[in-house]
Every structure is written in structure tokens, then in C-alpha cells.
Amino acid sequence: MHRRDQLRASKIMRDRAFANDKIDFRWNSVVEEVLGDGKVAGVRLRDVSSGELSDLPVSGVFVAIGHAPNTDVFRGQIDMDENGYIDTHDGTRTNVEGVFAAGDVQDHIYRQAITAAGSGCMAAIDAERWLESQPKTPTNW
């Protein structure tokens, strides 16, 4: 089910999905309701252009709608952009001293495993250096 009349994914991903005969596309459709009593028996769809409702029998439902960084827990504490991606500067630093961000929560461009792992390594080094730079006090040594 897709709420628009075309996919925004990259061409190579679109072509792979279209070539897969196990995938049927329902364009301009949103799920209004999951049907079934105790277990999934179908979904009620609404055509976003006509408003028409229809039921489609299915035995499972998987929800996947774009990307949303899971950063709500930090809202109001760490600076982020209007889409919830954490702002970083000078490597992985955030606006909060001693707090570093890595991976998809701060990357709205690449969002890949390899870039997340790389920035995770950067954050570990930044955090270790920051800890090293802290003066020793009776509470932290």
C-alpha cells in the first residue's frame, strides 16, 4: 500500500520491487483498519483520491513509512533540526558538553550501516578524548 501514485525510493530499488512477482502495489491507498478477530484477516483500505473503502484479505501487516529518527526522548535537551535529526558539530559533538551523537539519529543524508558505524567510531574517540581532558576530581577518579 502506498499513499501516493509513485515511489520516492531510488530507481534501482524501485526496479527491484517492480520486478518481484511476489509484490503487488496498491497506489493512492492508506490502511484505515486492520481486520480480524484475534489474528489478522485483512486490511480496510481507503483510496485517497476517491475516498472509497475496500477490504483486502491478508494474513500479516508490516508497517514501514519512511525514516523518522528516534530522538523524541532528547527533544528540548539536545539541539536538533525540524525533522528530529540531532545537530552535530566538530565531529560528533552536540550542543551539550560531553554528549556525542552518531549514526542515523544525526545523519539525514546517507543513513547507511557503514556510515553509522564510522560515525560511531568517531563518537567513541571524541568521548574518550573528552573524558581524558576532564580534570580529575574526587568524584570522577
Q: What is the number of the residue whose Cβ is closest to ligand FAD? A: 103
User: Which positions lie near ligand FAD, rule CB under 6 A?
Assistant: 70, 73, 103-104, 111-114, 116
Q: What is the smallest separation between the CB atom of 38 and ligand FAD, expressed in angstroms?
A: 28
Residue among 105, 101, 99, 71 at smallest CA distance from 88: 101
Residue closer to ligand FAD, measured from CB, 19 or 138? 19
DSSP the chain: --SSSS--S-HHHHHHHHH-TT----TTEEEEEEE-SSS--EEEEEETTT--EEEEE-S------S---S-GGGTTTS-B-TTSPBP-BTTTB-SSTT-B--GGGG-SS---HHHHHHHHHHHHHHHHHHHHHSPP-TTT-
Residue closer to ligand FAD, measured from CB, 109 or 135? 109
Residue closer to ligand FAD, measured from CB, 46 or 88? 88
Q: What is the smallest separation between the CB atom of 42 and ligand FAD, expressed in angstroms?
A: 24
Q: What is the smallest separation between the CB atom of 116 and ligand FAD, expressed in angstroms?
A: 3
Residue closer to ligand FAD, measured from CB, 46 or 104? 104
Q: What is the smallest separation between the CB atom of 114 and ligand FAD, expressed in angstroms?
A: 5
